[in-house]
Structures are given as structure tokens and as C-alpha cells.
Structure 1
């Protein structure tokens, strides 16, 4: 599926958070969104998911405005994994993932063995099968994050939105989750903090700064020393690999947070 924005703007009172952003994620593409804290990544993801309606501009899924789609229909096409998504309900890990099947259930479609199989597969994909019967509130932050991703996979979406999905995860699961979603037959849009993760897994990268889209292209095109210094305020060496990818080595700068 193709998800595209046309000149979207989001503001809180007089403060513009996202300012005139136009971009698209093509079918099967892994599009990364990077930028400093406060650059508008999360607000842009919320508009892409239909949780916030732009003050100006449109978001379209395969050419259809999100505003024209019912929540149920949209949830069958698109899944979102937020940075922080907690629940006060007492439930098991498996029950949390079962919530991903909600868009498909109704009077004519009761829970079935197929739903059980889809949930079991989603738990296995994020390495949470051994903890499926554990209570949600006994799980670590990283384990809960993996369940959020499993719940999204249980929705069987065609498009997956991830807002800093590697938060709370150890390095093995950071790499494992990003590799998993890259290998799925999905369109993926992910807001990422780690520039090397973006370089390793993304087909293209969109760079946000102060609410604006300042660069869009392949990792090699976008992740230059000049852009990293200008947008993130750090010095780095960018090493080009033989396979066409790149790796970033950051330089420690004394007093970088002073002032």
C-alpha cells in the first residue's frame, strides 16, 4: 500500500509542530523518519495513522483520504506501534496481542481457530511465546514493546507505522525487530533515533528538523557529514560500504551539552 502526505501541517495553539510536509511511502518500502527530539516525528506519525487530522493538507492511503475511511476499515489496512502505549486492564501477554484481531470480529465473525493461529504466530515472531501467559504488569518495558509489535502484526495490516519501536529493547531485539519488519511483505514507516539503524534497514530516509522535511533519499544520499552536523549538531565520519550502505561513527565533543 502507498501512504502519502500532501503539505500536512499540525499546530498546538500558535506553535507549529509539523510544517508543510509532503512525502510518500511506496508499496513494500521501508521508509525511516529521523530527526532530533522535538522535530515533529511523533506528530507526523500520528497524522499518518489517522489519530490527528492535519490543520492543513491531506494524508492518503492508496489515493483515498484517511478522513474518508472508517476506523474499522483503516485498522484492517494500517497498524501503529506507539512509543508509549500502556493499559490499566489486567490481562495476559496473549490477551494483549489478541486485541489486534478486534477489527475483524463482530456478530457475524466470532473468534475462531484462525484468530488463535494468527496470534500464536505474532507472539512467535517477536520471541514472546514462552511468556504468553504472563500478566502484562509483570513484564519489562522491552517485553511490553515486543507485545505491542506482536499486536500490530496480529492485525495483519498492509502498512505498519512504528514510532521509535526499539525503545526499551536490548540490542539483540532491536536488530531482530527491525530485521523482522523489513522482511515482511509490508509497507513500513518508522521513526527512528539510531542513525545506523536507519542506514542499515531503511530503503529511504526522511529527515525532520523544526517541523520541516529537510532531506529525503536513500541512506547514502541523506546521511552525510554535513547533514548530521547541521541537523543533529554532532560531528561524525560516514563510511561507505561496498554493498552501497553506510556506517556512521560519531566523534565525542567536549562540552557538547554545555551552555
Structure 2
């Protein structure tokens, strides 16, 4: 199962959000998308998922334009966890995960015991089985986020798109969730804020800046101090290990003289 973007353009309110974005996602890889706020990560994920259609360019699924596939067919192949996915319905945690089975149901394929088993495994995978009877509106942000992941796993699509999947999660669940996703036999594209998470879990990383992809490659090649300073405005040291991995150590910014002067005057 392949997913590719060719020359994508997207704008909103008269401002260009994405410009000439092209990207090939390799089957079975974990591809990270990083970049500062406003760089176009969320818009790119929406176009790759088919939620939005590009104003120019094409998204291809198995070589065919995404628009040529029916919505149900796309949902069987691509699961998307949005950054701000919510519901106002009074549903339980289990019912929220059951929605992931919708693309596989129809007049000739009603709900079955197999669907029950898939939902139960998805709940257990994200450590939410004990919350299955809780109403959605009573759950914390982190609990809801884990259920969104469970719903995507229950969808059993070979391609998983995640937009900031670790939002609202504590550090233990952040790493555990990314490890869980990494262990699945899936093609994964994830927009990530934490650069060390990208370094730990991604096979390749695409760096976005100003609505364009400015770098694409392995974490060790992409996460360079000069590039991170240019894109994010931070000073870092990148530690590399013998296995080819890397870890980013942030340096505290130098004090600003003007700010120090204001503090002194306030005293």
C-alpha cells in the first residue's frame, strides 16, 4: 500500500499554507513530519487523509488519485487521528472505538463477534479496557487521545496518519503510545512536536518550514544543529550513538540585555 503527494498547494484566507509539497511514503515505514507552528503540518495531514482536497497537486493511493477512491474505500486503507477530534454525542469509550469498524460494515457485513474482538484488542493496546463503560464527556484529554488511537487501530487500515498524537499525554504514555504504533505492521505518518520522539521512533523525517518541505531523510541526517536553529530558532547539541541514533540536547538561550535592564529597573 503506497501513499504519495505530488505538488500539493493549499491556501486559506488568501494566504498560501502549502506550496509545491511532494512526498513519497514508503510502505511499512514510520515517517515523521516536524516543523514549527504554522509550517503546514496539519494541513498536509488533512490532504493526505482526504479530508481536504488540494487546490493544486495530487494525493495518490496505490498509484491512483485519492479522489478516484470512494470514501469508504479510503477509510479501509487510511486511518487518521486528528489533532482536535472530538464528539458531543453521549457515547461510551467503547462505542467511540467501535466507530473504527464503520468502514467494514454494510448490509451484507453486519456487526459480528470478530468486530467485538478487534475493539477489545484495540482498547487493551492503549490501556483503556477498564474505561470501556465510561461516558466520553467524563474522560480526560489524555484518555480521549488514547481512545482516538484505539479507534484508529480498530479500523485496521494499513496506513495510519497521526496529527500530534501525544497531545494531552504524560511522558510515559507518550513514549508507550509511539512504541505501540511503531510495533504495528503499518505504514505510519505522524506530525510530531517533540524532536527527540521523532529521533527515537521515525525511520525518516520530513522538515517543514513556511509551507514547504525543506529536508527529508533519516533522523541522523536531518536533525542537524544548523538546520534546527534555522527552522526552529533554537540552539542545540546533537549527540549521536554507535547505532546511528541521535539525541537532541537543548541549550538555554543567552539572556537578553534589554530584558535584564527592565528587570533591574523594576527592582
TM-score bracket, normalised by the shorter chain, equals over 0.9
1:3 — aligned with what? 3
Runs of 4 or more consecutive aligned structure 1 residues displaced over 3 Å after TM superposition = none
* TM-score normalized by the length of structure 1: 0.98
1:57 — aligned with what? 57
- Match of 1:103, SS? helix
* TM-score normalized by the length of structure 2: 0.95
Question: For the residues of structure 1 that align with 2:132 and 2:242, how far apart are their CA atoms?
Answer: 42
2:29 — aligned with what? 29
Question: For the residues of structure 2 that align with 1:155 and 1:167, how far apart are their CA atoms?
Answer: 21
- Match of 1:253, SS? coil
Residues 213-245 of structure 1, C-alpha deviation per residue, up to 9 Å, x if partnerless?
100000000000000000000000000111101
- Match of 1:39, SS? coil
Deviation at 1:29, TM superposition (A): 0.4
2:225 — aligned with what? 225
5+ unaligned residues in a row in structure 2: which ranges?
Answer: 260-267
RMSD: 1.2
Residues 100-119 of structure 1, C-alpha deviation per residue, up to 9 Å, x if partnerless?
00111111111100000000
2:130 — aligned with what? 130
Deviation at 1:13, TM superposition (A): 3.6
Size of the aligned set, in residue pairs, is 258
Equivalences for residues 1-259 of structure 1 within 5 A: 1-254=1-254
Question: For the residues of structure 2 that align with 1:101 and 1:14, how far apart are their CA atoms?
Answer: 38
Deviation at 1:252, TM superposition (A): 1.1
Residues 178-208 of structure 1, C-alpha deviation per residue, up to 9 Å, x if partnerless?
0111111000000000000000000000000
- Match of 1:51, SS? coil
Question: For the residues of structure 2 that align with 1:16 and 1:79, how far apart are their CA atoms?
Answer: 27
